[in-house]
Amino acid sequence: MTFRTERDPLGELSVPADAYYGVQTARAVQNFPISGLRAPTALVVSTILIKKAAAEANRDLRRLDVSIANAIVTACDEVLAGRLRDQFVVDVYQAGAGTSHNMNANEVLANRAAELLGEPRGVYARVHPNDHVNMGQSSGDLAASLGAKAKELATVLKTGRTHLQDAVPMTFGQEMGGYAACIGRGVEDIAWAAQQLTELNVGGTAVGTGLNAGEEFRLQVVGQLRRYTELPLRPADNLFRVTQSMGDVLAYSGAMRRLAVELGKVASDLRLLSMGPRAGLSEVALPPVQPGSSIMPGKVNPSVPEMVNQVCFQVIGCDTTVMLASEAGQLELNVMMPVIAWNALHSATILTEAMTVFRTRCVDGLAADAARARELLDRSTASATALSPYLGYAVTAEIAKESVRTGRPIRDLVLERKLLDADQLDALLSVEAMTRGGFVGGPNRVR
């Protein structure tokens, strides 16, 4: 490998001759050999869009030579099209509020722009990373599927369970409808939090004063970014707030954490309900996606919900990192932005993909075993709860305990004691009626 020599305020350093990045990026690679993880694509794209908008704004404001600005814009377009992505080499764990990532982008764009203007890489006389490229800157589908499944299974009866013990009857539709509502509320929270991210810290420069940028530059850059992205982007109301605080990203990460908690609970429930096939609940059959064991032939595991659980754990862990890093910001700048950005973007990526797989390879093909669910429901004593308003809690509890001890049906024990007649019991022990709520059998209660 051949090298070129570049210089920065700290001295000279060798840089690979064919690299589009420069000396400051090379120093960052030396300083932060931590994880091998590089900036996620979303962060690279966002950074390059800002660089492009800034170059166009500075050109239009006559602060930047037209030929240099156009070369920078062309270089940006090339990166946005997928070129030079291998030149973004700084580890995600870095210091300086993302300065290293920012300079990585500046150097790549400067060298490519210089090349377009007929200059060699590593010679920044014509296009400079700081003076030119960095001018004016400073560093629900799853819910719908669950809702559809709720309608499909609306009349299939099952035993409700609390504390992992038998509880009053319900339908699979009610259970799935609850899942859909939980996921839907989580998605709504994320949508609200995402709106807060449309307020941009552009033109605040070092501490929020806007030194070396100005209001006109700020408005032009945000306008260009709005045009590029077709998002409702707007300048921050208070540049000091968005320079000091990562609160908006923290809220977004927290919303993803909430969704991960809800999603993980649904995945765990489906694993439990599918437990079997012979020695467990087996009320739900999940689509088989792969063999479950290299030693037990025919075994099929709930692989997709297991994957979802692990993704949810990771999202919760990422949020903890975002929370701690947000709190660690000091005075006028939160220097922990690199780890905040990586974890928030990582969470968004894996949560989105996991929900898609969960929907398409698990929920959409889920089936309820109505016969098995009814078998377990008929064996449960929880239906005795409907008798409590008529017989009183103590008497009903005594009958339920005797049913568990002897295995005799609740109905037989009540008739034997002549507490209610057969017609009354038919009405009161109707599990279909119990799922509709209220007092089963009418308002006349005997105490």
Per-residue pLDDT of 172-227, as tens digits, reads 999 999 999 999 999 999 999 999 999 988 877 778 787 887 888 888 888 989 98
Residues 189 and 268 in one domain: yes
Residues 259 and 149 in one domain: yes
Final residue of a structural domain among 133, 162, 184:
133
Average pLDDT over residues 431-438: 83
Residues 52 and 158 in one domain: no
Query: What is the per-residue pLDDT across 353-375, written as a single tens digit (0 to 9) for each?
Result: 899 999 998 999 999 999 999 99
Residues 267 and 416 in one domain: no
Final residue of a structural domain among 320, 351, 371:
371
Angle at 319 between CA 36 and CA 44, to 5 degrees: 45
Is 214 inside any structural domain? no
We report the CATH number of the domain holding residue 429 as 1.10.40.30
According to the model, what pLDDT value does residue 181 have? 93
Residues 182 and 265 in one domain: yes
Does residue 235 carry a pLDDT above 80?
A: yes
We report the CATH number of the domain holding residue 292 as 1.20.200.10
Is 119 inside any structural domain? yes
According to the model, what pLDDT value does residue 265 have? 97
According to the model, what pLDDT value does residue 447 have? 46
Is 222 inside any structural domain? no
How many domains does the structure of the chain reveal?
3
Residues 284 and 410 in one domain: no
Q: Which of 327, 96, 333, 330 is nearest to 209 (CA)?
A: 333
Average pLDDT over residues 6-32: 90
Final residue of a structural domain among 371, 406, 424:
371
Is 226 inside any structural domain? no
Beta bridge partners of 157: 171
Which helix (H) or strand (E) segment holds residue 347: the answer is helix 337-358
Does residue 291 carry a pLDDT above 70?
A: no
Q: Which residues participate in catalysis according to the annotation?
A: 293
Query: What is the per-residue pLDDT across 373-417, written as a single tens digit (0 to 9) for each?
Result: 999 988 888 888 888 888 999 999 999 999 999 989 888 999 999
Does residue 122 carry a pLDDT above 70?
A: yes
Query: What is the per-residue pLDDT across 322-364, written as a single tens digit (0 to 9) for each?
Result: 999 999 988 988 889 889 999 999 999 999 989 999 999 899 9
Query: What is the per-residue pLDDT across 47-88, written as a single tens digit (0 to 9) for each?
Result: 999 899 989 988 988 888 999 999 999 999 999 999 999 999
According to the model, what pLDDT value does residue 305 have? 92
Residues 257 and 298 in one domain: yes
Residues 128 and 168 in one domain: no
Distance (Å, whole) CA 268 – CA 182: 14
Does residue 282 carry a pLDDT above 90?
A: yes
Tell me the CB-side half-sphere exposure of residue 188, using CA atoms within 13 A. 7
Distance (Å, whole) CA 85 – CA 78: 10
Is 439 inside any structural domain? no
Q: The domain containing residue 284 runs over which residues?
A: 141-201+236-371
